[in-house]
Chain A
Amino acid sequence: MSLSTGERPRALPTGPVPDGGRSRTRRVAADLAMGVRFAFTGGREGWTRAVLTAVGVGLGVALLLLTTALPNALEVRHERETARTDITYVDERLPKADDTLVVANVGSDFRDDSIRGRALEPEGPRAPLPPGVERFPAKGEMVVSPALKELLASDSGALLRERLPDRIVGTIGESGLIGSGELAFYQGAEGLAPHIEGGRIVRIDGYGDPNPTSERSDPVLLLLILVIFVVLLMPVVVFIAAAVRFGGERRDRRLAALRLVGSDSGMTRRIAAGEALAGALLGLVFGAGFFMAGRQLAGTAVVFDISVFPSYLNPSPLLALLVAVAVPTAAVLVTLLALRGVVIEPLGVVRAGRPPRRRLWWRLLLPLAGLAMLYPMIGAGRDNGDFNQYLVTGGVVLVLVGVTALLPWVVETVVARLGAGGVAWQLAVRRLQMSSGTAARMVNGIAVAVAGAIALQMLFAGAEGDYTRSTGQDVTWAQMEVTLPSAVPVSSAAAGKLRDTRGVNEVYDYSEGHLGDRALDPEATTTLTVGGCAALREIADLPSCADGDVFAVHGAEWDTGVDMAKLAAPGRKLYLDPSYEGSPKSLEIPWTVPRDVKAAKPRRGLLAGIDRGGVLLTPKAAPDTLAPALEGHAYLRLDESVPDVHDRVRNTVAAVDPLASTVTWTETERTGRFDAVRTGLFVGAACVLALIGASLLVSQLEQLRERKKLLSALVAFGTRRRTLSLSVLWQTAIPVALGLLLASVVGLTLGAVLLKMTATPVRVDWTGVLAMAGIGAAVVLVVTLLSLPPLLRLMRPEGLRTE
């Protein structure tokens, strides 16, 4: 039998459905593009995921760009500092010429800030202009930095304005400053030349350091900066990893639907990767924005006791390109890794069964490998020079990554052993037992931030001890010291003005000079101090004192190795301001020890903490011939409860002699940089934890939304809202508590190792540990509190409605 329809049957198509001849690359691109489209058209969840990923990636990019820009910024600062160097300790004195300039250091302090100040006296038409200055200010004029200009114009700067009354005729340009927040001025001066002396007033014919050195950062500080960046960056990476998983279940359902209409598993993975890529690319834009904003912000901030101009923060183009490629790639890889345990089938998503029990051994390997990388540098100390940056960074990264690897194991192991308590506890524990990985992932960011911050806290506490040293100054005796230029003794008028200053209780004034046994290259030297009996009694135990007396102090620590009996033998001729071979000739003023010189004993602990010795002269015993070689000093006892007492004194001193300098005494001296770093760390840690808190909250809400029906059912059969709220609290608190515990152990270990590297005794900064743990706990509380209103909303019976 044959079929005859009178029509030729049409051939049915055979073989695979034609794909329009598209190449594999184009297909991959099309899949990725579809994923990108889904990221922005996938409803609120899609947008939330894309934006959160973008924020995470953006922060990561901005931080990395900042890291790459930092060395450049420090280099530019150093170059500018070198370019404007004027006062250097050179023995050779320049003669006056038409291209010379006399510069005096008239820098000061205002409250806690240092002010760089220079008095300038050009000696000819070709005198060199300081960088950033267009013309020399005349006497009574000054050019100031923008920050100083702003301060002087403000109410809070009124006190400083009294000290710097000159007319402001210009602003120092960026090339003359090392930071946007720097307080600096150049003022015009006359008659500086007679005061030229090595340290404060010099004659120059050009700016710039004649012996430039390359910038060499303190290795401990470098270590701190490296660790800070790693600590801040790691949680951002963890955040990105969490962000790309937001709305995961809904996305999985969408992918399953795609499978149903014919996508193969490779396509679905590429589409998922495309979604992540969209967030990552958006993140690059965010990152560039964050960086630019941060760059501008850096121009207004003073961190590390220094400020920078935004223009300093230019990352190297190659590194910036690397960041721009690496970060989005990492985001895509994380997504693909997350999909590893998921089989997307057309009828739904199948999780790859009960996950295998987590193994401890390889998780332990990471922190151990990190510690092994740090080990060779233990005991390297500051003195031995640098640390290997790569080993330090690698070691710290591995130890911190170790936290993220160990935490899932810890959470799984611990929650598996937790017994059932109340209903809320049971619900939380069972939920954690079912999916401890999710919980651990959420907490990983907090754990890394806390571990790193604890380690840094310890490093700070240790380094602080190192960088804080006793000055030996007895602040109960005096709180400020005034030094006048050479050849200027403290006149009674000046002392009177100081005494009249509000807040000054007592003024001890002396004139000091350097005494030698020979005019040239003396073998024995000591100090010659001229002062009234009352003042001299403050620095030595005098048997009796009347104006005209001379004393030789015997046995003073100050004069170790000097036989005072021999040096200050009655009738011996000594020389004030002796000369030394190879240095310009000094004044070499002869002075003969009087016959009636009296012996005195040193008084311990006063001036600068050591017992002073030398020869003490009352005013009548000091001939006028000595004056050119004497330098006036005044020690002030202050009532420090008087507001701005130090600045009041500085104002008086500036009025007495603009070239005088003041020093505020402190018991200890420490580089303020650590305060700034510590503050920076706390701010950074708080920001990172807030970020992680936000991701915790979003995850929590998403989880709750997915359980909407179940929550309504639980409420239907009478579950108290309190019970469910408590269960949410436990569900967050248990992994966070475990995370904080692990973070504390790892942080303390890392801190101890870092301290050992800097050869600093290991001390635990428990306040820091508690503070960081407290911040972590606060995050849990805030997340729980913020998730309560939506939880209560989701528990409404409407959740049971299906129609």
Chain B
Amino acid sequence: MTPPAGSLLSAEQLRKAYGPTLALDGAEFSIHPGEVVAVMGPSGSGKSTLLHCLAGIVTPDSGTIMYGGRELSAMSDAERSALRRSDFGFVFQFGQLVPELTCVENVALPLRLNGTSRKEAERAALTWMERLEVDDLRKKRPGEVSGGQGQRVAVARSLVTKPRVLFADEPTGALDSLNGERVMELLTDAARSTDAAVVLVTHEARVAAYSDREVVVRDGRSRNMERAV
């Protein structure tokens, strides 16, 4: 397979089934550095599965995924884990912060997993927290902050390793519109400033509006949408 010219991450003919349920049925995808692509679709359409496959969390049953010229689907679990630590960042719907760690420790966690010393990791984490306007929460635990604040901490955590691709799965799904918009502004601004590509899974048009391009997934198949200006 030849990935689209200049693309950072691309997928072709992805198929993935969970038991009898076909989640992906020939889905295609590509993203360029610094691009924000919204993956949209109704519940159960396969958009989260597509994200998981693209991020190397789940291996597809068939099809190819290329990242930076390497075939992701051919990598071992350890290689894919290493890639996720170094090149990818993640934001989930409910933040999925580690409840017992403080916010700054949560943000520093991916760096620490990469072997960065605690001090250095927390210093970098604080910079990102300032940027996402949550530096005053550094000593608080996730249970002590609001949903919007927690999600911003999660965004800071996803960006702290300066990933080349940021995967965001319904990042505002648990937030009110005001908080959701603020999180999206901060997320996309921060990503663009580091030239990171963002794969944004959402079913909200309001959130998708922050993207450069939209891909709609329906019944496991993907389709590029032209944006109405």
| A-B complex is real | yes
Closest to A431 in B: B100
Report the minimum CB–CB distance from B86 to chain A (whole Å).
Answer: 8
A800 and B57 contacting across the interface, CB-CB below 8 Å: yes
A800–B48 CB distance below 8 A: yes
Question: Which residue among A420, A423, A798, A800 has the maximum number of chain B CB atoms within 10 Å of its CB?
Answer: A800
Would you list which residues of chain A between 415 and 474 have a CB under 8 Å from chain B? 420, 423, 426-427, 430-431, 433-434
CA distance A434 to B110 in the complex (A): 21
Q: How far is the CA of A800 from the CA of B18 in the complex (A)?
A: 13
Q: Cβ of B99: which chain A residues have Cβ within 8 Å of it?
A: 434, 710
Q: Is A560 part of the binding interface, using a Cβ–Cβ cutoff of 8 Å?
A: no
Q: How far does the Cβ of B39 sit from chain A's closest Cβ, in whole Å?
A: 14
* B96→A427 contact, CB < 8 A: no
Residues from 73 to 131 in A contacting B, C-beta threshold 8 Å: none
Name the A residues within 8 Å of B81 (CB-CB): 715, 718-720
Contacts A803-B44, A803-B48 given; indicate if A718 touches B118 (C-beta within 8 A): no
Please tell me if the beta carbons of A718 and B84 are within 8 angstroms of each other in the complex.
yes
Are B101 and A430 in contact (CB-based, < 8 A)?
yes
Complex contact A710–B101 (CB within 8 A): no
* Contact assessment for A716 and B100 in the assembled complex, using a CB-CB cutoff below 8 Å: no
In the complex, how many angstroms separate the beta carbon of B75 from the nearest chain A beta carbon?
13
**What is the chain A residue whose CB lies nearest that of B85?**
A718
Assembled-state Cα–Cα distance A719/B82 (Å): 9
Residue of A nearest to B102 (CB): A430
Q: Is the CB of A423 within 8 A of B109?
A: yes
A803 to B203, CA, bound (A): 14
Given A718-B81, A800-B57, also A427-B101 (CB < 8 A): yes
* B113 engages A423 (CB within 8 Å): yes
Q: Which of A434, A709, A718 contacts B113 (CB 8 A)?
A: A718
Tell me whether B193 is interfacial, beta carbon within 8 Å: no
Give the contacting residue for B52; candidates A423, A427, A800; CB below 8 A.
A800
Interface of B is mostly: mixed
Distance between B82 CB and nearest chain A CB, rounded to angstroms: 7
| Interface residue total, chain B, C-beta cutoff 8 A | 37
Residues of B contacting A715 in the complex (Cβ-Cβ under 8 angstroms): 57, 81
Interface membership of A801, Cβ < 8 A: yes
Contact at A716–B101, with CB atoms within 8 Å?
Answer: no
Cα distance, A132 to B169, chains bound together (Å): 83
Interface centre among A426, A427, A434 (most CB of B within 10 A): A426
Q: Which B residues touch A800, using CB under 8 A? A: 48, 52, 57, 92, 169
Beta-carbon contact of B109 and A709 below 8 Å: no
A17: min CB distance to chain B, Å: 36
Alpha-carbon gap, A800 to B57, bound state (A): 10
Question: Nearest-CB distance from A719 to chain B (Å)?
Answer: 6
Mark interface residues in A296-323 (1 if CB within 8 Å of B CB, else 0).
0000000000000000000000000000
Q: Answer whether residue A475 sits at the interface, using C-beta atoms and an 8 A cutoff.
A: no
| Contact between chains at B105 and A430 (CB < 8 Å) | yes
For residue A802, CB closer than 8 A to chain B, the reply is yes
Cβ-defined contact, A713 with B92, below 8 A? yes
Q: Taking the complex as formed, is A413 at the interface, i.e. its CB lies under 8 A from any CB of chain B?
A: no
Q: Using A426-B101, A800-B92 as known contacts, say yes or no to A718 and B110 having CB atoms under 8 A apart.
A: yes
Q: Nearest-CB distance from A451 to chain B (Å)?
A: 29
Q: Are B113 and A803 in contact (CB under 8 A)?
A: no
Known contacts A716-B57, A717-B84: does B101 contact A797 (CB below 8 Å)? no
Contact A717 B98 (CB under 8 A): no
B112 contacts the other chain (CB 8 A): yes
Q: Does B89 reach chain A (CB closer than 8 Å)?
A: yes
B43, B88, B90: the one within 8 Å of A713 (CB): B90
The smallest C-beta distance from A439 to any residue of chain B, in angstroms, reads 12
Chain B minimum-CB-distance residue to A721: B81
Bound complex: CA A431 to CA B141 (Å): 11
Q: Which of B49, B96, B110, B112 contacts A710 (CB 8 A)?
A: B96
Asked if B100 contacts A719 (CB within 8 A), the reply is no
Shortest CB-to-CB span from B171 to chain A, Å, is: 13
A179 to chain B, nearest CB (A): 56
How far is it, in angstroms, between the C-alpha of A720 and the C-alpha of B49 when the chains are bound?
22
A-B contact pairs, 20 of them (CB 8 A): A423-B113, A426-B112, A427-B100, A430-B98, A434-B100, A709-B94, A709-B96, A713-B90, A713-B92, A716-B57, A717-B90, A717-B113, A717-B157, A718-B85, A718-B88, A718-B110, A720-B81, A798-B58, A803-B43, A803-B48
- Which residues of B are interface residues toward A (Cβ below 8 A)? 18, 43-44, 48-49, 52, 55, 57-58, 81-86, 88-90, 92-94, 96, 98-102, 105, 109-110, 112-113, 118, 141, 157-158, 169
Question: Given A427-B101, A718-B83, A723-B113, 16 other A-B contacts at CB below 8 A?
Answer: A426-B101, A427-B100, A709-B94, A709-B96, A710-B99, A713-B92, A717-B85, A717-B89, A717-B90, A717-B158, A718-B84, A718-B86, A718-B110, A797-B58, A800-B57, A802-B93
